[in-house]
Amino acid sequence: MKKFFTVLALAIVVASCNKKEENKTTTTETDTVATEIKTDRIVSLNGAVTETLASLDVAGNIVGRDVTSTYPADLKATDLGHVRSITAESILALQPSVVFGTTKDVNPNLNEQLKKANIPLVLIDQEYSIDGSKKLITAVATKLKKDNYQPLLDNISNKMATVKTFDKKPKVLFIYARGAGNLMVAGSGTPLHSMIELAGAENAAAALTDFKPLTPEALLTTNPDVILMFDKGLQSLGGVDGLLKIEGIATTNAGKNKKVVTMDGQYLSGFGPRVGDAVVELHNKLQ
């Protein structure tokens, strides 16, 4: 029995190692061929990309999406879940002709597996700025060979031109919440930091980088005038009343004046084609 196992397993390994060599040659050949992309079945692993695709009138071609692709709401694509836990198999099951994602989101394993499967993978290096959004739109449109993207860029520029400056910049603190036990603030380098600055305000947590846990002391030292949250985040705390119960919140200016602003998560932090509208809305809500 033992011997049989050993022989069987050895045979498998020998076979697999041989096969590996053959594979290498085929993938390198196809890397160069894959420049022409068919766009009839698209999988989008990023909310901003999905929005862009929809704005370019190809929403109907999207067959798969990740959990952040919440807009447009009537999208008829299979939800593959969180981008980090998506597997190559579930993507391949949708028989995509192209997969869109951002370099930050797609993990190296998936990247490697899709490359080997000869599925064209378009990775966009998303920057959280107006230019970044424009670049993303241009990159997606170019890949799709669409030239009707200029109005999208113009819309962003026009909206941004309407944003006025505040006389006195309000200090805004973004709190990411998944229930009261899990609170993070957005420091610099986050999309929310960029949004707050674009709206003409000041990020109260700018001294921190990335998302950092919220502490009562930090709340007091930063003393924000406004607290900014995602709609769902505030819901998870049980509304404004729930938020005020969190230690330290009630003593801040924002807490005293009950100045809490909420917006849809993807709208506020997605940096897609709606970024201009989102900045204007945030600016108006901060007034």
Partner 1 sequence: MKKKVAVYKVSFFIVLLVALVTALYLGAYDFNHSVFEIVSTYFNTNTHTADSFVLIELRIPRILMAILTGAALAISGTSLQGLFKNPLASPDLIGITSGAVLFAALTIVFGSAVMHLLPAFFRYVLLSVMAFIGALLTMWFVYKMATSNGKTHILILLLSGVAITALTGAVTGFLTYISTEEELRNITFWSLGSLAGSNWWKVCLVFIVVLIGSIRLLSKGKILNALMLGEKEAAHLGFDIEKTKREIIIIVSLMVGCVVAFNGTIGFVGLVVPYILRFVFNSNYNILLPLSMLLGAVVMLIADTISRTIVVPAELPIGILTAIMGAPVFISILINYKRKLK
The residues that touch partner 1, with contacts defined as CB under 8 A, are: 1-2, 6, 9-10, 12-13, 16-17, 19-20, 22-23, 26, 64, 78, 80-82, 84-90, 92-93, 95, 104, 107-109, 112-113, 116-118, 210
**Of 84 and 245, which CB lies nearer to partner 1 in the complex structure?**
84
To partner 1, the closest distance from the beta carbon of 45 in angstroms equals: 13
To partner 1, the closest distance from the beta carbon of 48 in angstroms equals: 16
Structure token pair of residue 171: 């200090």
| 165 DSSP 8-state letter | P
To partner 1, the closest distance from the beta carbon of 116 in angstroms equals: 6
Rounded CA-CA distance 112/40 in Å is 23
**Of 89 and 147, which CB lies nearer to partner 1 in the complex structure?**
89
Rounded CA-CA distance 145/189 in Å is 32
CA angle 16, 18, 22 (to 5 degrees): 110
Provide the pairing of β-strand 78-79 with 62-65.
parallel
Rounded CA-CA distance 148/77 in Å is 23
**Of 107 and 155, which CB lies nearer to partner 1 in the complex structure?**
107
**Of 112 and 231, which CB lies nearer to partner 1 in the complex structure?**
112
Contacts of 187 (CB under 8 A, 6+ apart): 193, 203, 205, 206, 207, 208, 209, 210, 211, 212
**Of 141 and 186, which CB lies nearer to partner 1 in the complex structure?**
186
To partner 1, the closest distance from the beta carbon of 87 in angstroms equals: 5
To partner 1, the closest distance from the beta carbon of 85 in angstroms equals: 6
Rounded CA-CA distance 43/34 in Å is 17
